[in-house]
Amino acid sequence: GNQKATHSENSQGKKSQHAEEAIFYMNCRAAYLTVFKSSLENIKSKEQLTLVLQQAGRNPSQKTINKYWTSQTTSLNFDDFCAILKKEKPATKKELLEAFGKIDTDKAGYVLLDELCKILTTRGEQMTWEEVTTITKQADFNCSGKLDYNKFCDLYLTTSEQCCKAARDRLEVDPRLRQQQLGNQTENSSEGISLPVSKPSPRSSRKADHKLAKGDSRAPSRPSSAQSSKASTSTTVTVGASSSSRSTKLIIEPDTMKDWQCAQSKGCFYLEEGGEIISHKYRLHLPQRSAVCVTIKPLNIPQPEGKSCRWLSVDTALFILKDNETQENLQLVGFTELQTKEMFGWRGELGPGVYWLLPFTTGCRLRKGKSQITGEAKLVWRDEDGELALTKEFQAALLDIFETIDLDGNGLLSLEEYNFFELRTSGEKCDQEAWAVCKENFEMKRNELTRQGFMDLNLMEANDRDGDPWDLWVTLLSLGYNKALEMTEACPFVIDICAERCKPRIKAISLEAGGSQLSRAVCRFVVHQGEAKGLDGSANITIHTYRSGSRISSVIENKSENKVIIHVNNEQSKNCLNNRGLTVFAVEVAPKSMMVSQHVMPLNEQEEWIYSCVHSLV
């Protein structure tokens, strides 16, 4: 009886989760179809992105738009739009009141217009005067220039809900739009990877800002059942305890590589609010043809006794692509599939020239956690003379941060290295003039910031806020720390390049999401190296599955002239976790394209794990 009751509760929980997901995607589709004729139509400009987000009840600033529409973006589609809405959640009244409460220190229920404008244009995510003016025009300021922000919050939320409701109403009354409600959110490759007409190898469609390896996925639009599927195929892989981390041959053979020339660079995966993962990207230069060994592994930063590096269990990998003039459709030349413990590597011969190194993690283990932090670590304190000082715990965290952002490992921060830190934490860069001011105020060597200089810079920031740690926490949270000063949403890593006949040079170029190049590389590698299985009863749909050490990746290839929706069911898997965070989900694949279905890893590598997945055509 207890088992039946538990089973009933679990079933109800799943139904509730699916219902919430269905409502979310209905709202997404309703907003999208308010602006576009079809969910297959792409967003072609920043203006269209702004408009469609507003229809979904969001009010994005220009900085938010620039976050998703970069210099490389030419289009975004419905999948990208859904992913953005998952990240840019609408503000609640509680959050709005808390924000105003930080301004209204007297708790009077009012804020002055001048004070509000000053804060909105100078602190946090700074707004332009035009944006502020647009907001204040809608607000009800009294003759004394005061705003009753409780009423303003109600107005804001009401307006937002009215936008969403109008979009939903339009969807309900238009039969043509209702037919388009069944769609997808793959979050791995928004437009998919287009296939050429004459041969099966993938090529790029238009350049887009694809999102690879995020932490969640769309729930199925239809319930899981064999009766709803036209064709299906199942794949089962059983892996023994601990065998997933063994390699048949060593990545590095010291005796044969002792005279090789090497280069090294550090970097980091950062988990964004909505589950997207960004990282450094690198350019590798080889002056002549040479045998090369490339490795990547999580960076082991020594921790105090009793503390561990949580990120050491995160899987890391590198895709090696040959550069070309157009920067499109780069040739995939290597992937770090060899594994020794936490290190992944690739060995081979590369010709002279420039290569791109794209770091990759599946997102299975680098994902949003559910653990609750009971207390907030203290960052600053005042000594007997009333002078501010950094706590020992905060100093230790800052030293770890310094170790992570010191990409070349020389114990100093160059302007280039510091700017990666600034872009991640504030979205802005430090120019030469500002760097000269830093040189006057903080310790530097050879025009590079020392550890002590970095510590003093953070102390100055605390003094600028008179001990208010708010800005310091903004920095820490953006770097993957929680309120207990634990790095839980980032994974620093180190890349080593060794070449037999020349000196390799590696340089970090950007800090951003993997994009279409990484998405294309993943699909291409899995399709070329994995096991292919056609869906029974459908000759045009193929599921490619590839295992590399402790990772299993699957890609769906659609050779037909029509889009397809594939139902993915992992309910028979054991001791597994995937990058989507769901056991059952649906994937929509565009015509003549392919995209990642999922990445899977063992929950506990010390125990046997079974990957058992059924892909069904809905």
pLDDT digit string, tens, across residues 521-575: 999 999 999 999 999 888 899 999 999 878 999 999 999 998 888 999 999 999 9
How large is the average pLDDT for residues 394-410? Answer: 96
pLDDT at residue number 269: 97
Is the pLDDT assigned to residue 298 strictly greater than 90? yes
Lowest-confidence pick of 154-158, 449-453, 481-485: 154-158
pLDDT at residue number 14: 55
DSSP state of 244: G
pLDDT at residue number 213: 32
pLDDT at residue number 397: 95
DSSP state of 76: B
- Is the separation of the CB atoms in 492 and 316 below 8 Å? no
Question: Higher model confidence: residue 298 or residue 327?
Answer: 298
3-class SS letters over 25-70: HHHHHHHHHHHCCCCCCCECCHHHHHHHHHHCCCCCCHHHHHHHCC
% of residues, the chain, pLDDT over 70: 80
Give the confidence band of 10 by pLDDT, cuts at 50, 70, 90. Answer: low
Helical residues (DSSP H) of 390-464, grouped into ranges = 392-405, 415-425, 432-441, 451-464
| Token pair of 386 as six digits | 């009333």
pLDDT at residue number 214: 32
pTM (2 d.p.): 0.67
| Token pair of 227 as six digits | 């009766």
- Is the separation of the CB atoms in 217 and 595 below 8 Å? no
Question: Higher model confidence: residue 427 or residue 40?
Answer: 427
Is the pLDDT assigned to residue 8 strictly greater than 80? no
Lowest-confidence pick of 180-189, 233-242, 442-451, 487-496: 180-189
Distance CA 565, CA 183 (A): 8
What residues does 545 pair with on adjacent strands? Answer: 531, 554
DSSP annotation string for 156-181 = HHHHHHHHHHHHHHHHHH-HHHHTT-
pLDDT at residue number 219: 36
Distance CA 446, CA 429 (A): 20
Give the confidence band of 371 by pLDDT, cuts at 50, 70, 90. Answer: low
For residue range 56-98, what is the model confidence (pLDDT) as tens digits? 888 788 888 999 998 888 889 888 898 899 888 887 888 888 8
How large is the average pLDDT for residues 499-506? Answer: 96
% of residues, the chain, pLDDT over 90: 44
How large is the average pLDDT for residues 463-470? Answer: 88
Highest mean pLDDT among 29-33, 186-190, 593-597: 593-597
Q: Scan for tokens 């930063």, then name that residue.
A: 301
Is the pLDDT assigned to residue 389 strictly greater than 70? yes
**Separation in Å, CA 63 to CA 120, 145, 237, 281, 312:** 13, 28, 45, 22, 33
Q: Is 468 helix (H, G, I), strand (E, B) or coil?
A: coil
Which of 291, 295, 358, 347 lies closest to 322 in space, CA to CA? Answer: 358
Highest mean pLDDT among 189-198, 296-305, 371-380, 505-514: 505-514
DSSP annotation string for 9-25 = HHHHHHHHHHHHHHHHH
Is the pLDDT assigned to residue 509 strictly greater than 70? yes
Q: Scan for tokens 């000063």, then name that residue.
A: 485
Distance CA 160, CA 158 (A): 5
* β pairing state of 338-340 and 343-350: antiparallel
Handedness of CA 378, 414, 345, 359 (dihedral sign): positive
For residue range 252-284, what is the model confidence (pLDDT) as tens digits? 555 678 889 999 999 999 998 878 899 999 999
Distance CA 19, CA 21 (A): 5
Distance CA 429, CA 427 (A): 7
Is the pLDDT assigned to residue 236 strictly greater than 70? yes
- Is the separation of the CB atoms in 493 and 264 below 8 Å? no
Distance CA 490, CA 472 (A): 17
| Token pair of 142 as six digits | 């009294």
- Is the separation of the CB atoms in 305 and 448 below 8 Å? no
Is the pLDDT assigned to residue 42 strictly greater than 80? yes
- Is the separation of the CB atoms in 555 and 595 below 8 Å? yes
pLDDT at residue number 308: 75
For residue 329, the tally of other CB atoms under 10 A from its CB is 15
User: For the chain, how are helix, strand and coil distributed in percent, rounded to 5?
Assistant: 35, 30, 40
pLDDT at residue number 294: 96
DSSP state of 127: P
pLDDT at residue number 226: 35
Helix (H) or strand (E) holding 388: strand 388-390
pLDDT at residue number 224: 37
pLDDT at residue number 182: 35
CB within 8 Å of 95: residues ≥ 6 apart? none
Is the pLDDT assigned to residue 364 strictly greater than 50? yes
Quote the mean pLDDT of the chain: 82
Distance CA 86, CA 75 (A): 19
CB within 8 Å of 539: residues ≥ 6 apart? none
